[in-house]
Structure 1
């Protein structure tokens, strides 16, 4: 007789243990064992037992797990199983999924194998069967025409169990949301249609929910320097670009912006000191109706000037795209409330641009496309599956949550935002049709926008460093498994993955520049780098600071109740208060932003992989190097931030989550 030592590790999740005794069979190249019952497994425990065979069954290929049903069915979350053979070889079986039935489940040995490397008939057969089931479990659905497709699921419970929130996170999200709205009900705010009597009254909405940055915003939101700063390091650092020639629809002249011949617009453009933020994406979007009242959404153009002391100052604002007598251009030299209201209308437009294009589309929806295509097309032994699966955690459920609770016709978004449901779909369709591959790759995007030398641009500085670290890691891992371009070309699972992304994510629009197949290893490395960066650093940059910058409503109003002034000199503080969102809209918006910005208790920072999907020495070593480089970047960011009035932490790897998980 020969003995195989089997060690079972059960996950440390709520309800992960089981009262059932699982049956385990070992399958090797030369035979298979009988089924052996494991001991009872409790949450977070490791148990070992011996499986005996008359003779060696050869190199292990897979194991079969079965959890027979007794008096009642209960869950089990095996994390991994390790088998030590009589030849002293160690085989790892990463599982990391819930088993909630009495069916036989097969799991492959953990050595990563591309399609062309998987040659044993047992492995090939198992791989084919698993992929058939994956294609049934992960299906595409058209949520709305003209936007990326999503995961088909009838309800939360129809999502595969391994892709759902943990029990703890479910309770946390639901209780947080309920708590915020109960608090608003007690304050009689959530249903109030009254306008704010004065600015200070807004402080009472969530007086106990404050951050260091939200306090700073409350004190500095009126300042031009802070208005400009937010285009660099606020929640939407994606819009600003260098201006070398003014658009024809923005007729700003020297005598308007640079008084007494201080300098000319043309010369400052040549020096690279003039920047433009154009909200043309919002032009003509049908504005929402909230509480029976028409709302207003502008499509502004904003001109900014980098001053000699490296401040980014707004110098001209036009609130509509088409020049007209009733569409004045506002300047800092205008009256206090004319200029302030112009900036507020811009910040309100930025709410819709950020939430729908920069946040929802370019991180959440794309992350779901990357995840569904991965889970639909790639077997769990594929090296790219192992590399990317940590960056898909909780994405499917948070997006289902968003479609159900936030952006549906009965969701929160239509109740608080000027863009509403119809406007939202218009903006999403326009955003996707104008999106480019290069805009998703921060080195290319920064160069195309001409903002390489713009000072105090911490999103750029930290993001470029983070991109480089991710790229080195991806290059190391993929170069280990793909030795040349031909191996990339013949990997059918890999080619189906990118083909599905091109078709279902970018709707087969070749103009986006998204590849529909991979021909070289370098193409693959860049694309996978973009995927990980989008799901981690980019999402953090545009999500984590939502309450920091939006918790003080006048800085980022979700909607506007009155149209902008058509002539100068007609705006006042009273008019501003009538234009800002009412009490109920303000309260619901702040509660939502608080929830979406709140770090979950199961937060997993970038580079930390609680699940051991890789078992080979070189990839495991690359993961350690990756973690080390991320820690060094984090330390540099922390040192830099000590000298800043407003610290920029959204690209700090220790504060960046591995996936779009909230």
Structure 2
């Protein structure tokens, strides 16, 4: 940031006039994927692929019926599907998918120059074509009305590009706040606090879980000071669409919709109808990781608890899950979060979910931030102008007027680079440099062998992911155990 200030970029209020100039700002801060994004961000195939294997694979779902506020017709989209097919036919085949950002409707935004920044509850319809490429075929950025058209790939280049930018802005807001901040950082804090308060350090589940909460409380404390503290005390100085009130409102909405099922990847994938969509590496790697973690947790928990009655009688364990239910999920019974445990099987599933959330899920939504979000036209941190109300009125000048100014862009890029850095004392998933189980508690030999097996399974998965990634560009490496933190620590 200091270097950017010296260059006169960090404080610049000028609008961009040339995309190549954006590339030059961070020519020394780039990755192979961020370079790929800057070259391919306008392409529909690449646009679609990001909702499966980018930094936010959490929104897209199979579409079996259109939302009532999304009046897409066959006439609109038939040219972009197989000859002679129809929307209804492709829905039955399972080839139509949707991203619906309805949660953003009416969320207050930051006021700039006396006007609130635009934020759209965008809707984007996708078609998985015969080549197994997921491509956008219709975009709506506002509630349907004569002055709010549905944009199509056949529209002018700049109309279509602008519509996709509004979708990506909505996705950026949901990604950073609902799925990254709330869905990993803040949930991890709830799990960590309950563990520290309810499970004594000699409790076997405390020993199992505590390595997965390393640095979580300090990093969350710093994040909270940045996000909820006074603007002048913000050391990162990043401009986004949401102000404090908007952030709090979105977090409330997102928190009220979290369910136990949505946090368990196998159930989440089925609920969203994504079991068979091709080229979905988040699903492929994530389900393998879930099973490896579940197998490890099962062995450990069954070693600690030989019967369901032992689970029921463990008052410390019951206090732990009750505290998570009350303080982490505000006692919301509709969430499906258990209030107590009665069986060993219930404990295994919940602890699998906890470890998966603070390791794999956090990695999936955190590791790719710089790769996919540093090229701001691809993931705008905010947009300056509301979307046009008529087709044919956009140009490249409109694009530049809508993008953040130079200073906001480079501050955002710098912040995302910082948030994506690994610590020098990075500890990968499955590594336990501090031995919490020892000879004196009777668990040492068995747990040590289980940990070795866990590490071996993770190593096999890492090798297979590396081998697969060598065959295509861009690779998907965000669920590679060798690259994944053992906790929410950045």
Structure 2's unaligned 5+ residue stretches are 439-443
Is 1:200 aligned with 2:20? Answer: yes
* Equivalent position of 1:233 in the other structure: 53
* Equivalent position of 1:632 in the other structure: 460
Structure 1 pair 413–506 and aligned structure 2 pair: CA distance change class (3 A): farther
* Equivalent position of 2:211 in the other structure: 390
Deviates more, 1:370-379 or 1:182-191: 182-191
Is 1:536 aligned with 2:359? Answer: yes
Q: TM-score, normalised by structure 1?
A: 0.72
* Equivalent position of 1:114 in the other structure: none
Structure 1 pair 415–636 and aligned structure 2 pair: CA distance change class (3 A): closer
Query: Does structure 2 conserve the Cα–Cα contact (< 8 Å) formed by 1:297 and 1:349?
Result: yes
Q: Deviations over 1:375-415 (max 9, x none)?
A: 01111110100000000000000000101124434137885
**Which runs of structure 1 show a deviation greater than 6 angstroms over 4 or more consecutive aligned residues?**
none
Which secondary structure does the structure 2 equivalent of 1:390 belong to?
helix
C-alpha displacement of 1:608: 0.5
Correspondent of 1:440 among 257, 260, 263: 263
Once residues 569 and 199 of structure 1 are traced to their aligned partners in structure 2, the CA distance between those partners, rounded to angstroms, is: 22
Which secondary structure does the structure 1 equivalent of 2:137 belong to?
strand
C-alpha displacement of 1:603: 0.5
Which secondary structure does the structure 1 equivalent of 2:244 belong to?
helix
Q: Deviations over 1:211-252 (max 9, x none)?
A: 010000010000000110000000110001000111111000
C-alpha displacement of 1:614: 1.4
Structure 1's unaligned 5+ residue stretches are 1-180
Once residues 307 and 165 of structure 2 are traced to their aligned partners in structure 1, the CA distance between those partners, rounded to angstroms, is: 54
Once residues 347 and 439 of structure 1 are traced to their aligned partners in structure 2, the CA distance between those partners, rounded to angstroms, is: 23
* Equivalent position of 1:620 in the other structure: 448
Structure 1 pair 413–509 and aligned structure 2 pair: CA distance change class (3 A): farther
C-alpha displacement of 1:293: 5.4
Correspondent of 1:296 among 101, 104, 118: 118
Once residues 195 and 520 of structure 1 are traced to their aligned partners in structure 2, the CA distance between those partners, rounded to angstroms, is: 60
Structure 1 pair 507–412 and aligned structure 2 pair: CA distance change class (3 A): farther
Once residues 209 and 113 of structure 2 are traced to their aligned partners in structure 1, the CA distance between those partners, rounded to angstroms, is: 44
Which secondary structure does the structure 2 equivalent of 1:194 belong to?
coil
* Equivalent position of 2:11 in the other structure: 191
Q: Deviations over 1:338-378 (max 9, x none)?
A: 00000001111111100000100000000000001100111
* Equivalent position of 1:453 in the other structure: 276
* Equivalent position of 2:441 in the other structure: none
Query: Does structure 2 conserve the Cα–Cα contact (< 8 Å) formed by 1:386 and 1:613?
Result: yes
Structure 1 pair 591–414 and aligned structure 2 pair: CA distance change class (3 A): closer
Structure 1 pair 364–538 and aligned structure 2 pair: CA distance change class (3 A): same
Once residues 312 and 503 of structure 1 are traced to their aligned partners in structure 2, the CA distance between those partners, rounded to angstroms, is: 41
Map 1:317-328; keep pairs closer than 5 Å: 317-320=139-142, 322-328=143-149
Structure 1 pair 355–412 and aligned structure 2 pair: CA distance change class (3 A): farther
Map 1:584-623; keep pairs closer than 5 Å: 584-615=407-438, 616-623=444-451
Q: Which has the higher contact order (CA 8 A, sep 6+)?
A: 2
Is 1:257 aligned with 2:73? Answer: no
C-alpha displacement of 1:275: 0.3
C-alpha displacement of 1:502: 0.5
Once residues 235 and 46 of structure 2 are traced to their aligned partners in structure 1, the CA distance between those partners, rounded to angstroms, is: 29
Structure 1 pair 592–290 and aligned structure 2 pair: CA distance change class (3 A): farther
What is the count of residue pairs matched by the alignment? 481
When you count helix as a share of all residues, which structure comes out higher? 2
* Equivalent position of 1:221 in the other structure: 41
Query: Does structure 1 conserve the Cα–Cα contact (< 8 Å) formed by 2:118 and 2:383?
Result: yes
Larger radius of gyration: 1
C-alpha displacement of 1:262: 3.2
Map 1:446-485; keep pairs closer than 5 Å: 446-485=269-308
Which secondary structure does the structure 1 equivalent of 2:483 belong to?
coil
